[in-house]
């Protein structure tokens, strides 16, 4: 079945540091890929998505490129802020009618001032 493998956390960075959170996937067909963010005590918010190979999703300074050849969708940000501290989830959506999401285990990011 489909699966998502996400970089283990927690990750602690200083403000303005460069961020990479690795995500690789296994899926049949052509899944859509997502990054969601969860702030403390809250639900999940969509951060960005990509629906086909070589698409780049971007939002709030975060970027991720759908790499079919390496089955990856790594999340990057050039300069993190304290407000970026949260848990980040990589996910894929299958191509079936239900469009079920398969999530990675999440990566806790803490940004220190």
Partner 1 sequence: SQTIHQWPATLVQPVGSPLSLECTVEGTSNPNLYWYRQAAGRGLQLLFYSVGIGQISSEVPQNLSASRPQDRQFILSSKKLLLSDSGFYLCACRGGLAETQYFGPGTRLLVL
Which residues would be at the binding site for partner 1 (CB under 8 A)? 32, 34, 36, 42-46, 49, 51, 89, 93, 97-101, 103-106
- 14 or 52: CB nearest partner 1: 52
Q: How far is the CB of 11 from partner 1 (least distance, A)?
A: 15
Residue 16 Cβ vs partner 1, minimum distance, rounded to whole Å: 28
CB-nearer residue toward partner 1: 28 or 98: 98
What is the length of the chain? 113
Give per-residue burial for 54-83: e unless 16+ CB within 10 Å, then b.
eeebeeeebbbbbbeeebbbbbebeebeee
Q: How far is the CB of 53 from partner 1 (least distance, A)?
A: 15
Q: How many CA atoms lie within 13 A of 11 on its CB side?
A: 22
């Amino acid at each position: 079945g489909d699966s998502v493998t996400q970089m283990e956390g927690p990750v602690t960075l200083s403000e303005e540091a460069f961020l990479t959170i690795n995500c690789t996937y296994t899926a049949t067909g052509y899944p859509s890929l997502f990054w969601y963010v969860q702030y403390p005590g809250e639900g999940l918010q969509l951060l960005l998505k990509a629906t086909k190979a070589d698409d780049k999703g971007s939002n709030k300074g975060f970027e991720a490129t759908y790499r079919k050849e390496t089955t990856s969708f790594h999340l990057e940000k050039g300069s993190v802020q304290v407000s970026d501290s949260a848990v980040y989830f990589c996910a894929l959506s299958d191509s079936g009618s239900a469009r079920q999401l398969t999530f990675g285990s999440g990566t806790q990011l803490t940004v220190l001032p």
